[in-house]
Structure 1
């Protein structure tokens, strides 16, 4: 052997290297012939400051929702008042839950619309009982739902102007 590190050293045993049985790579390991993956700072697996979906002021800071502008407030309150025509109490419930922290007006009007829809559910149950007891003659009480639609339209018009609306005969279960 030579003492010079510049010269390559020859192997002591000439011949082919011993063969090992081929195994399928484990799940998540790199394909054969590639070096194993090592996470470097700034690569996937390592969080980078200032990126992602979190708030820009730090990962441990509490979430501060952005307030709605007045036109968005009016739009969402109108949807909360008119949405029940198609989706019953689901529309005001979702709008109230999503936007209650972002606007006092949407919080107030979303609760009002949700309470009115809950009241209408009770009225519907009462109308059904009256209809069954009177063998269908009492189904005329379903006319009350025409008044409910009129109240929802009045509420939407007032909310579109930015004014609050209080339903008459509303059971306010959600405070």
Structure 2
């Protein structure tokens, strides 16, 4: 498409903020599903509670929000299982390393997922046990 010199093409009219297919509200709820686990983890290993609340509140309204809430819920349940294994391994003294690695793994991937879904891209966590579908 060639525009005359000095003229700009019309603004993109796709989805919210140039992201086709997802509204700003959907992206905000998807971000909330991922970020709420950070708040929940500081309250005492309740990282799965935030994504569950988002899933129950907005899961029926948007397939995108549902998929991201389920993904965040599965990941946080998996991290809880990995943490329990780490606590058991504390008796063998390797558990402290496992717990530290699980925490860094959880924090980094939660931040990556939050950034991806804020851009409207779906995100799937690696090493996740898919219990909820």
| TM-score, reference length from structure 2 | 0.75
Q: Does 1:140 find its partner at 2:83?
A: no
Alpha-carbon offset, residue 142 of structure 1: 1.3
Moved over 6 A (4+): none
Query: 1:151 aligns to what?
Result: 109
Cα distance in 2 for residues equivalent to 1:70 and 1:76: 10
Q: Secondary structure at the match of 1:83?
A: helix
Matched residues, number: 105
Cα distance in 2 for residues equivalent to 1:138 and 1:70: 43
Cα distance in 2 for residues equivalent to 1:137 and 1:170: 22
Query: 2:67 aligns to what?
Result: 108
The structure richer in helix per residue is 2
* Structure 1: gaps (5+ residues): 1-68
Q: Which structure has the bigger radius of gyration?
A: 1
Q: Which has the higher contact order (CA 8 A, sep 6+)?
A: 2
Query: 2:24 aligns to what?
Result: 71
Cα distance in 1 for residues equivalent to 2:106 and 2:34: 11
* Structure 2: gaps (5+ residues): 1-21, 41-46
